[in-house]
């Protein structure tokens, strides 16, 4: 007969689905603002957070949040200088952060630590405490994102127009960067450092051809994200493939399908 | 001692001779040297604005007033700092020195120069109009109708033509119920007929709503036809005044170089047309006819 899912599987589903919903509007704004590289840098600085957590003996998620937020603060500072395009700075920073993280973990703890679980996530190891992080943190992030939604859409659309109409550009953006850092730190657990940006961006890309307004794009991205979590984890359960990459694969399949079928029509 | 002094003042004069335009300013007497006091009755009033970027001076010593009901046009060559000046006035950029006074009663409607719609953002025209303000659906339809773009309501912003985009941007600006409309090269990417229609629309909006208009344009003929005041800009105010005054100013001719004559030809042509309607044609200059004949 039908087998009841194991608790670890339910935990993974609950965490993944919640994160997919939180990630959807953020992912849309990342796509609109073309800041995938910023997210990548935040994600790869997470490994430094892991090293920090291990060396200080504090909660790893908290340590990763601290590292990501600190990186976001540095990036906000870099955004103010106009000598170099942010892209060039990020190109250097995100590789440096990854390399430094790997070296720091190796030096601190020896090679016994499972680097793979940080790089690609370990969704089936999600604990009840992790779930708490996801739900409380996720609710706060979602609430703040919705609060900032209109200014962020207007700034993404045309910064000068939004500014002339009285929106101060740097405040919503700085808050958004910090929200993004926290989201990445929390989502890292599930899909890992290397795939967390895909988790954020791919559902938004998949939703773009299907949407006519910014809000619909975010909602469709959330639906695609949640569906991909279910499909990916189901696939993972029956094939023993790793969970995080399976979710991302399902998302990518949705994006390719959407772009192929609808892309031409939506233009 | 007196020799040295003389030498210094000589050098001083030499420095200013480089700044050719300042000399002209004094000569023409219509520049920014007139009133240094901020105008409290203006929709926006600026005095002594200076702005530089990467160590390069873009604007200096700029005075600007826009009063209710008047169309003030900024003209000037590429890189003259027209868009920068508008950004200073709107508070998008901050001046290095100088003051911008904008009374709380001033409500701005802004039509930016470049509106390269990011196709990554799905956005219907109606949604775009609703995004800036809490307008009723009826108001959105009415605003689109007002600018002759009612058919675009359900289209994606990225699929509009240049002229349609400008009209939608103007509709959006009008929805904010502004008393100061700021348009940065509104005819950009619009064909010649569309351009004339667009400036007619701007003139009509001014007449109907009695709002002040600050317009950037390099289309000299339109500037002459519709403006109450023209400010000729090239890093500083070269000359300003009524369109006819500015058109005859030596500085204006120098600034626009060989193109000035032909542009003026277009202007006169347009002006002829405008005057035909009201029955008072204006003679053309021989030089312009020459130029046009080629």
Q: pLDDT of B71-124, one tens digit each?
A: 998 988 888 888 999 999 998 888 999 989 888 888 899 998 877 777 889 999
Domain boundaries, chain B: 38-242, 258-294
Q: What are A69's two structure tokens?
A: 């937020």
**Average pLDDT taken over every residue of chain A:** 88
CA distance, residue A126 to nearest chain B CA (Å): 34
The domain made up of B38-242 has a fold known as Rossmann fold (3.40.50)
pLDDT tens digits, one per residue of B152-165: 989 999 888 888 88
Min mean pLDDT across A167-171, A261-265, B110-114 is at A261-265
Strands (E) in chain B, as ranges, are 44-53, 56-66, 71-75, 97-101, 108-111, 180-184, 212-216, 229-233, 237-241
Residue B289 has pLDDT above 50, yes or no: no
Residue B1 has pLDDT above 50, yes or no: no
Question: Does any domain span residue A160?
Answer: yes
Q: Which domain holds residue A88?
A: 7-194
pLDDT tens digits, one per residue of B189-208: 777 777 778 888 888 888 88
Residues of A in contact with B158 (CB under 8 A): 267
**Cα gap B59→B50, rounded to integer Å:** 5
A135 interfacial to chain B (CB closer than 8 Å): no
**Cβ within 8 Å of B, A 193-222:** 208, 211-214, 216-217
With an 8 Å Cβ cutoff, the interface of chain B facing chain A consists of: 87, 90-92, 108, 110, 112, 115, 117-124, 127-128, 131-132, 156, 158-159, 176, 182
Residue A163 has pLDDT above 50, yes or no: yes
Residue B137 has pLDDT above 50, yes or no: yes
Left, alpha or beta for A248 (phi > 0: left; psi -120 to 50: alpha)? Answer: alpha
Answer whether A158 sits within 8 Å of B115, measured CB to CB.
yes
Confidence (pLDDT) at B7 = 34
More confident call, A215 vs B102? A215
CA distance, residue A116 to nearest chain B CA (Å): 34
Q: What are B263's two structure tokens?
A: 């542009």
Min mean pLDDT across A77-91, B68-82, B115-129, B177-191 is at A77-91
The ipTM, to two decimals, is 0.83
Residues of B in contact with A84 (CB under 8 A): none
Confidence (pLDDT) at B223 = 65
Q: Which residue is closest to A205 within chain B, CA to CA?
A: B120
Helix residue spans in B80-238 (DSSP H): 82-90, 125-132, 137-146, 162-175, 192-209, 220-226
Q: Which residue in the set B90, B121, B124 is minimally distant from A32, CB to CB? A: B121
Three-state SS at B92? coil
CA-to-CA separations, A93 to A128, A147, B62, B238, in angstroms, rounded: 34, 31, 42, 47
**Cα gap A133→A15, rounded to integer Å:** 9
pLDDT bin (cut points 50, 70, 90) of residue B288 is: very low
Residue B34 has pLDDT above 70, yes or no: no
In the Cβ-directed half-sphere of A157, how many Cα atoms lie within 13 Å? Answer: 27
Q: What are B285's two structure tokens?
A: 């200059």
Counted domains in chain A: 1
CB burial of residue B162 (10 Å; 0-12, 13-18, 19+): middle
Beta bridge partners of B38: none
CB burial of residue A207 (10 Å; 0-12, 13-18, 19+): buried
Contact B141/B150 with Cβ under 8 angstroms?
A: yes
CA distance, residue B84 to nearest chain A CA (Å): 11
**Cα gap B251→A125, rounded to integer Å:** 76
**Cα gap B213→A91, rounded to integer Å:** 45
Q: Return the closest-CA partner of residue A224 out of A10, A25, A14.
A: A25
pLDDT mean over A148-168: 91
Question: Does any domain span residue A253?
Answer: no
Q: Which positions ≥6 away from A130 have C-beta within 8 Å?
A: A11, A15, A61, A189
pLDDT mean over B128-135: 82
Q: Return the closest-CA partner of residue B164 out of B148, B184, B146.
A: B148
The continuous run of DSSP H or E covering B217 comes out as none
Strands (E) in A168-241, as ranges, are none
**Cα gap A235→A232, rounded to integer Å:** 5
pLDDT mean over A233-241: 92
Residue B275 has pLDDT above 50, yes or no: no
Confidence (pLDDT) at A8 = 87
Q: Which residue in the set A31, A154, A160 is minimally distant from B87, CB to CB? A: A160
Q: Give the Cα-Cα-Cα angle B210, B211, B216 (nearest 5 degrees).
A: 130
CA distance, residue A24 to nearest chain B CA (Å): 14
In the Cβ-directed half-sphere of A232, how many Cα atoms lie within 13 Å? Answer: 29
Residue A257 has pLDDT above 90, yes or no: yes
**Cβ within 8 Å of B, A 41-70:** none
Answer whether B110 sits within 8 Å of A161, measured CB to CB.
yes
CB burial of residue B289 (10 Å; 0-12, 13-18, 19+): exposed
pLDDT tens digits, one per residue of A176-211: 989 998 999 888 888 888 999 999 999 999 999 999
Residues of B in contact with A219 (CB under 8 A): none
pLDDT mean over B236-255: 76
Q: Return the closest-CA partner of residue A137 out of A7, A10, A15.
A: A15
Three-state SS at B151? helix
Confidence (pLDDT) at B261 = 43
pLDDT mean over B41-63: 89
The continuous run of DSSP H or E covering A64 comes out as helix A60-80
Report CA torsion sign: B143, B149, B151, B157.
negative
**Average pLDDT taken over every residue of chain B:** 74
Q: What are B268's two structure tokens?
A: 């006169």
pLDDT tens digits, one per residue of A10-58: 999 999 999 999 999 999 999 998 888 888 888 888 888 888 888 888 8
When mean pLDDT is compared over A73-87, A207-221, B179-193, the highest value belongs to A207-221
Answer whether B121 sits within 8 Å of A267, measured CB to CB.
no
Min mean pLDDT across B35-44, B87-96, B266-275 is at B266-275
Answer whether A165 sits within 8 Å of B122, measured CB to CB.
no
Confidence (pLDDT) at A264 = 64
Question: Does any domain span residue A246?
Answer: no
Residue A223 has pLDDT above 70, yes or no: yes
Residue A215 has pLDDT above 80, yes or no: yes
pLDDT tens digits, one per residue of A95-122: 888 898 888 888 886 556 778 888 888 8
Residue B12 has pLDDT above 80, yes or no: no
Confidence (pLDDT) at B291 = 39
Answer whether A32 sits within 8 Å of B115, measured CB to CB.
no
Residue B229 has pLDDT above 70, yes or no: yes
Q: Which residue in the set B92, B118, B156 is minimally distant from A164, CB to CB? A: B92
CA distance, residue A156 to nearest chain B CA (Å): 8
Contact A164/B92 with Cβ under 8 angstroms?
A: yes
pLDDT tens digits, one per residue of A132-143: 889 999 999 999
Residue A260 has pLDDT above 80, yes or no: yes
pLDDT mean over B158-181: 89
């Amino acid at each position: 007969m039908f087998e009841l899912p194991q608790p670890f599987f339910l935990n993974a589903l609950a965490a993944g689905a919640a994160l997919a919903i939180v990630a959807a509007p953020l992912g849309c704004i990342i796509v609109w603002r073309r800041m995938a590289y910023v997210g990548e840098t935040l994600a790869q600085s997470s490994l430094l957070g892991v090293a920090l957590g291990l060396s200080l003996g504090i909660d790893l998620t908290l340590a990763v949040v601290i590292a990501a937020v600190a990186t976001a603060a540095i990036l906000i500072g870099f955004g103010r200088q106009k000598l170099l395009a942010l892209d060039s700075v990020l190109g250097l920073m995100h590789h440096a952060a990854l390399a430094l993280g790997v070296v720091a973990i190796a030096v601190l703890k020896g090679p016994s630590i499972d680097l793979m679980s940080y790089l690609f996530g370990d969704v089936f190891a999600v604990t009840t405490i992790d779930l708490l992080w996801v739900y409380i943190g996720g609710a706060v992030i979602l609430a703040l994102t919705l609060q900032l939604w209109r200014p962020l859409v207007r700034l993404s659309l045309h910064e000068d127009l939004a500014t002339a109409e009285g929106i101060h550009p740097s405040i919503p953006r700085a808050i958004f960067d910090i929200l993004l850092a926290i989201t990445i730190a929390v989502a890292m657990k599930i899909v890992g450092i290397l795939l967390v940006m895909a988790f954020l961006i791919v559902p938004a890309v998949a939703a773009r051809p299907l949407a006519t307004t910014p809000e619909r794009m975010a909602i469709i991205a959330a639906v695609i994200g949640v569906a991909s979590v279910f499909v990916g984890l189901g696939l993972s359960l029956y094939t023993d493939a790793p969970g995080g990459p399976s979710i991302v694969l399902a998302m990518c399949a949705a994006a390719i399908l959407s772009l192929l079928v609808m892309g031409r029509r939506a233009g | 001692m007196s020799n040295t002094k003389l030498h210094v003042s000589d050098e001083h004069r030499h420095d200013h001779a480089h700044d050719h335009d300042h000399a002209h300013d004094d000569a023409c007497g219509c520049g920014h040297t007139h009133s240094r006091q901020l105008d409290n009755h203006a929709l926006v009033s600026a005095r002594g604005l200076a702005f530089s970027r990467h160590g390069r001076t873009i604007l200096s010593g700029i005075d600007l007033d826009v009063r209710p009901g008047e169309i003030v046009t900024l003209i000037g060559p590429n890189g003259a700092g027209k868009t920068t000046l508008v950004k200073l006035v709107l508070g998008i950029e901050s001046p290095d020195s100088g003051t911008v006074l904008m009374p709380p009663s001033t409500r701005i409607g802004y039509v930016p120069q470049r509106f390269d719609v990011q196709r990554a953002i799905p956005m219907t025209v109606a949604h775009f109009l609703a995004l800036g303000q809490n307008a009723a659906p009826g108001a959105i339809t009415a605003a689109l109708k007002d600018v002759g773009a009612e058919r675009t309501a359900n289209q994606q912003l990225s699929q509009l033509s240049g002229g349609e985009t400008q009209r939608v941007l103007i509709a959006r600006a009008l929805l904010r119920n502004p008393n100061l409309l700021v348009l940065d090269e509104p005819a950009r990417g619009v064909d010649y007929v569309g351009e004339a229609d667009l400036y007619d629309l701007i003139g009509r909006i001014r007449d109907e709503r009695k709002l002040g208009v600050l317009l950037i344009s390099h289309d000299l003929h339109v500037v002459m036809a519709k403006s109450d005041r023209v400010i000729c800009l090239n890093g500083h105010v070269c000359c300003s005044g009524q369109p006819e005054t500015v058109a005859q100013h030596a500085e204006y001719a120098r600034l626009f170089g060989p193109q000035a004559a032909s542009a003026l030809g277009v202007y006169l042509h347009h002006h002829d047309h405008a005057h035909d309607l009201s029955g008072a044609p204006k003679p053309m200059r021989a030089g312009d006819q020459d130029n046009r004949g080629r």
